[in-house]
Amino acid sequence: MPTIPPSSKILVTGGTGYIGAWVVKFLLDRGLAVRAVVRSEAKATLLKEVFATEAGDGNLEFSIIEDPFADGALDEAVKGVEGIAHLASPLTVQGDDPDDFIKPAVNGTLGVLKSALKNGSTVKRIIITSSCAAVYTVQSEPGCWSESDWNDAALEQVRAQGKNADVMVKYRASKVLAERAAWDFYKKHQGEVGWDLVVLNPPIVFGPALLPGLTDPSALGESMRYWYHFIIANTPKTAEMLHGSHGWVDVRDVAEAHARSFERADLGGERVIVYAGPFIWQEFVDIVNKIAPSVWPGHEILKGFPIEEKAYRVRYSTEKQEKLLGLKYHTKEETTRDILEDFKKRGW
The per-residue DSSP string of 241-258 comes to: HHT-EEEEEEHHHHHHHH
Give yes or no for residue 93 having a pLDDT over 60: no
- Give the mean pLDDT of the chain: 94
Segment 261-311, tens digit of pLDDT? 999 999 999 999 999 999 999 999 999 999 999 999 999 889 999 988 888
279-291 burial, b if ≥16 CB within 10 A, otherwise e? bbbbbbbbbbeeb
pLDDT at 2: 56
Q: Give the number of other CB atoms < 10 A from CB of residue 228.
A: 17
- H-run or E-run covering 239: helix 239-242
Point out which residues pair with 278 in neighbouring strands.
247
pLDDT of residue 4: 83
Contact (Cβ atoms closer than 8 angstroms) between residue 201 and residue 134: yes
Query: CA 84, CA 15: separation in Å to the nearest integer?
Result: 12
Section 166-183 average pLDDT? 96
CA dist 265 → 1, 124, 195, 205, 327 (Å): 6, 10, 12, 26, 16
DSSP E strand stretches across the chain: 9-13, 33-38, 60-64, 83-86, 125-129, 143-145, 196-201, 204-206, 245-250, 271-273, 277-280, 314-316
Q: Say if residues 202 and 12 touch (Cβ distance below 8 Å).
A: no
pLDDT tens by residue, 112-131: 999 999 999 999 999 999 99
Helix (H, G, I), strand (E, B) or coil at 70: coil
Positions of E strands within 14-135: 33-38, 60-64, 83-86, 125-129
pTM here is 0.96
Radius of gyration of the chain (CA): 20
CB 117 within 8 A of CB 193: yes
User: How far apart are the C-alpha atoms of 96 and 119, rounded to whole Å?
Assistant: 36
**CA distances from residue 182 to 86, 189, 224, 263 in whole angstroms, order as listed:** 11, 11, 27, 21
